[in-house]
Amino acid sequence: MSVFAWQRGFSLLEMLIVLTLIAIVGSLTAPKLFKQYNRALERSQVQSYASRIERLSHHAFQQGRSVKLAKDDNGFGTWPELPDGWSAQQLPVLRLLATGITNGGKLILQAHSGQRWQLEFAPLDGRIQIHALNADVENTLP
């Protein structure tokens, strides 16, 4: 029987090697994970913004009055408030008629990260499709 047969466990050198490998793998994957988290957060904010616009459309229908969503002198006065650090560019004026019909249109949102999102409003029913405008993110969201 060997002198070292009674020793159990790991040596300090083995532990340092394993910890070093874990640190290297963590340093390689952490930035990508944070980037994915930020994208998911932005995606969630865009979907929430689209939901607020849909609620505005339903409210206009229930009240029996039309709403014109247009840019005013102070920014987007009739649009729901944007998340902090976001900007928007409206293409045509969007009308939400009392009958529930819309004229269709587009709204481009830009997040503080630079990622751009397009909200496309379908004519007539006003369904909103969300598109990521940068190629490194999924193209269409439900």
Do the beta carbons of residue 120 and residue 106 sit within 8 Å? yes
What tokens appear for 94 in the block? Answer: 């969007």
Do the beta carbons of residue 90 and residue 71 sit within 8 Å? yes
- Stretches where the chain sits below pLDDT 50 are 75-76, 135, 137-142
Through-space distance between the first and last CA atoms of the chain, rounded to whole angstroms: 68
Residue 79: other Cβ atoms inside 10 A: 19
* pLDDT tens, position by position, 40-71: 999 999 999 999 888 888 888 888 888 888 76
Q: What was the pLDDT predicted at 5? A: 59
Q: What was the pLDDT predicted at 18? A: 95
Q: What was the pLDDT predicted at 88? A: 85
Do you know the residue count of the chain? 142
Q: What was the pLDDT predicted at 45? A: 92
Q: What was the pLDDT predicted at 142? A: 45
